[in-house]
Amino acid sequence: MKYKHALFLNPYIENTATSIMGLFPPTGLEYVATSAEGLADKITLLDLRYETELCDTGKLIDFIRKEIDIVCVNVGWDRQYEEVCGLLNRLPDNMPLVVGGYKATVEVDDLFRICPRIDIIVRGEGEETIKEILKEVPPENILGISYRSGQAVIHNANRPLPDVDLIGAPDRRLRRNQYCIKVNGIGLADLTFDSVLSARGCPFNCKFCTFALNPLGQKRDYAARSVESVVNEVGRIRANTILFNDDNFFTDIKRSEEICDLIIARKIKKRFLAQARIEIAKYPGLLDKMVKAGFKMLFMGIESPHDRILAQLNKGFDSAEIRSSFAVLKKYPIYYHGYFIYGNIGETEKEMLYIAKFAKEINLDSITFQKLRIEKFSPLRTIAENTPGYHVTYRGELYSDTYSHPALKKIGRQIKFSFYTPLQILKILKKFLVVKFFTFNEITVFMMAGPALLWSVLAREMKKKRLGNSLKRIFIDNA
């Protein structure tokens, strides 16, 4: 029997004004929902970050109970994990509940344990799997899923990965909202965002990373779409800012140049953001083309300023290479955002705090820093478990006898305020002007929205009763 109404739900609720990734659509879920078209009479895609009325759990449950006969939920992240699990357990029990996404793939057994409402978990890429589920193929015959059978949980074999060029682009007509910056609940229509996945997998082997692994710890080989298909998709997008969602958009330098060439030839006027590695500094010809094509911002995984930690993480470069790379990169009008990890095995407080100074020394415009997490299949797990004084929680959180969770959180705040001084904020604004990231109209909008954004930050600090310490770190400790 054909399903009448299938719901594809992104269950995360967050303030899109303060989270850059909250500005972009749930690409993976959109791919899966697109694959389901034609297999249900109606498909609804809900992103709770934008569905203000349905953020009330009771209203969402009522909507599902009245309208839906199968629910498919993306569980992709650690954040709000408990809240998402609570929502799953409240869903009506008279319809199938299918869950997928990165977090679901890694935490299959945990999700089945704490969420008795789940019927099926789709492991890994779900475009082909969802088709068989909606066709009601018997679960024992569907590759790539785990499912309940009585009191037992059955893990079927992994599904072979399809050719990426056989996977169609997501159907953006399924969206119920426009992705843009919001201030006080009002969308700024001049700043619109979208994302494109031009390749899947990653050829590198950083020890802390498991995004390229399937549930059994097997690596997803790098597979890229054709240049023509990528640029065709870009050309159809209405948003003026596009993020390439690849783990590293510049894995194949020749292919990246061809994409830039075609964007330039077709006179596509967009702002592009992408993830990259420092090795891109070795290719000035590509960097020139990127500037001409409209690349405005690069997200770069630096991870650490310390050679022994870079070696521990198997990054493939050292601090001297980082410095020499950024000496080249700073010559190009591109905004550089760096990712760092702190709380590494054997890392001292002094070494952690050096992150902010090092980031300024290499001329990073902004940074994000996260405590080291060790996922189920990370090669670092064995090292951590065999290092005296270090502990890994069942959710992958690393802490030590020397640096507890609260201690690491305090160090993180010190890193933040050491880097984001008033002078650095001014430098960020200047860099946005230099790279021409914003138009004059958009700058005007930001100036109008600025007080509201500032107040939201101050209100958060006051709520946590740490505003005084925050201001002290900004204006006194960094004087």
Burial of 101 (0-12, 13-18, 19+ CB in 10 A): buried
Which pLDDT score, from 0 to 100, does residue 52 have? Answer: 75
CATH class, range 197-438: alpha beta
Give the mean pLDDT of the chain: 86
| 55: pLDDT strictly greater than 90 | no
Q: What pLDDT band is residue 333 in, cutting at 50, 70 and 90?
A: very high
| SS3 letters across the chain | CCEEEEEEEECCCCCCCCCHHHHCCCHHHHHHHHHCCCCEEEEEEEECCCCCCCCCHHHHHHHHHHHCCEEEEECCCCCCHHHHHHHHHHCCCCCCEEEECHHHHHCHHHHHHHCCCCCEEECCCCHHHHHHHHCCCCHHHCCCEEEEECCEEEECCCCCCCCHHHCCCCCHHHCCCCCEEEECCEEEEEEEEEEECCEECCCCCCCCCCCCECCCCCECCCEECCHHHHHHHHHHCCCCEEEECCCCCCCCHHHHHHHHHHHHHCCCCCEEEEEECHHHHHCHHHHHHHHHHCEEEEEEEEECCCHHHHHHCCCCCCHHHHHHHHHHHCCCCCEEEEEEEECCCCCCHHHHHHHHHHHHHCCCCEEEEEECECCCCCCHHHHHHCCCCEEECCCCEEEECCCCHHHHHHHHHHHHHHHCCHHHHHHHHHHHHHCCCCCHHHHHHHHHHHHHHHHHHHHHHHHCCCHHHHHHHHHHHCC
SS3 289: helix
- Residue that wins the pLDDT comparison between 466 and 444: 444
Which pLDDT score, from 0 to 100, does residue 124 have? Answer: 86
Q: What pLDDT band is residue 464 in, cutting at 50, 70 and 90?
A: low
Which pLDDT score, from 0 to 100, does residue 215 have? Answer: 46
For the whole model, what pTM was predicted? Answer: 0.84
CATH class, range 3-164: alpha beta
Which pLDDT score, from 0 to 100, does residue 403 have? Answer: 94
- How large is the average pLDDT for residues 292-310? 96
- How large is the average pLDDT for residues 253-258? 96
| 185: pLDDT strictly greater than 60 | no
Which pLDDT score, from 0 to 100, does residue 303 have? Answer: 95
Share of the chain above pLDDT 90, in %: 61
Q: What pLDDT band is residue 396 in, cutting at 50, 70 and 90?
A: confident
Which pLDDT score, from 0 to 100, does residue 167 have? Answer: 77
Which pLDDT score, from 0 to 100, does residue 273 have? Answer: 96
Share of the chain above pLDDT 70, in %: 82
Least confident of 105-114, 178-187, 248-257, 376-385: 178-187
Provide the residue ranges of all domains of the chain, joining segments of one domain with +: 3-164, 197-438, 448-479
Which pLDDT score, from 0 to 100, does residue 178 have? Answer: 84
Which pLDDT score, from 0 to 100, does residue 257 have? Answer: 97
Single-letter residue type at 137: V
Q: What pLDDT band is residue 460 in, cutting at 50, 70 and 90?
A: low
Span 401-422, pLDDT tens digits: 999 999 999 999 999 999 999 9
Span 105-123, pLDDT tens digits: 888 988 999 999 999 999 9
Q: What pLDDT band is residue 291 in, cutting at 50, 70 and 90?
A: very high
